[in-house]
Structure 1
Amino acid sequence: MIIKRVIRSQNRVIVEGKNLVKKHIKQGPGHEGGIFTVEAPFHASIVQVLDPVTGKPCKIGVKYLEDGTKVRVSRGIGASGSIIPRPEILKMRATPRPTVAGPKDTPNESCAGEDTRS
């Protein structure tokens, strides 16, 4: 199954061929009316990730590799335990981290090894 659209503000997804509903659309200028079948969104918590080895839905677990990197692994009954790569969309940040210190940031020099207790 393919996710056609993600609605992040409502935490919902639209999956191709699932959750089909009938929509009654009134005829208007420029479009025809009638009863149409469309995919309705449903909550993102219902969607499961596919195991890359078996191709079946599985739960996701977290594991740390020897070099300290955190990875997602498949877990559950019939899961292979293999690493599930993160999609590129999840690697991007919506707002980039600031590279310059702002007016409310603590400067690095002031907190380097000083004891402020009296």
Structure 2
Amino acid sequence: MGWKAAEKLIRHWKVVRGDNVMIIRGKDKGETGTIKRVIRSQNRVIVEGKNLVKKHIKQGQGHEGGIFTVEAPIHASNVQVLDPVTGKPCKIGHKYLEDGTKVRVSRGIGSSGSIIPRPEILMIRTTPRPTVLGPKDTPMDLVLEKTYDAKTGRGMPEL
């Protein structure tokens, strides 16, 4: 990817993995599906079962060759999230509830203004968190050690 394309990366993503979306441009226009993967480095998403293309794969060690049908990425601007109440595509805005939690809401002409919940699939991590401390982790006694004195503006003397 060239530097011009890198300048135009989406900074604040409105669609996330697991959202129900409608394709608004391209050969699958008007069809709905679920976002399977978000490729942020290319501003693209993969919608489950949509934008299918034929891919020729050469036979190699450990796998068969042939012609396979795979899902190709779609640009993020060509999909819109479905309103959970009306079932129509809508834009997404953000609001803060009374308790301070940030939620996504549907907005635009003909939208209900209802809250769009975060998909459950986002709660499942693709890589599990480590449960035991590794050999490179810093012990807590070194982390909590005071090494700077704010009154004198100097480092603490070594003991």
Per the normalisation by structure 1, the TM-score is 0.60
Give the equivalent residue in structure 1 for 2:48: 16
Give, in whole Å, the separation in 2 of the partners of 1:55 and 1:76.
Answer: 13
Q: Aligned residue pairs: how many?
A: 99
SS in structure 2 at match of 1:2: strand
Among residues 57, 68, 74, which one is paired with 1:25 in the alignment?
57
Alignment pair present for 1:35 and 2:50: no
Q: Report the aligned-residue RMSD.
A: 3.6
Determine whether 1:6 maps to 2:38: yes
1:35-114 matches, cutoff 5 A: 35-63=67-95, 71-87=103-119, 89=122
Instruction: Please give the alpha-carbon distance, in whole angstroms, between the structure 1 residues aligned to 2:81 and 2:58.
Output: 38
**Following the alignment from structure 1 to structure 2, what is the Cα–Cα distance between the partners of residues 84 and 46?**
19
Structure number with higher relative contact order (C-alpha < 8 Å, ≥ 6 residues apart) = 2
CA distance in 2, matches of 1:5, 1:68: 29
Q: Distance in 1 between matches of 2:116 and 2:36?
A: 20
> In the TM superposition, what is the alpha-carbon distance from 1:2 to its structure 2 partner?
1.4
Q: Which residue of 2 aligns with 1:103?
A: none
Aligned-pair CA distance for 1:10: 2.1
Which deviates the most, 18-27 or 56-65?
56-65
Map of 1:111 onto structure 2: none
- d(CA) in 2 for partners of 1:56, 1:85: 16
Shift of 1:61: 2.9
**Aligned-partner SS, 1:45:** helix
- How many angstroms apart in 1 are the aligned matches of 2:45 and 2:84? 21
Code of the residue aligned with 1:12 in structure 2: it is R
- Paired with 1:68 and 1:4, the residues of 2 have a C-alpha distance of 30
Identity of aligned residues (%): 90
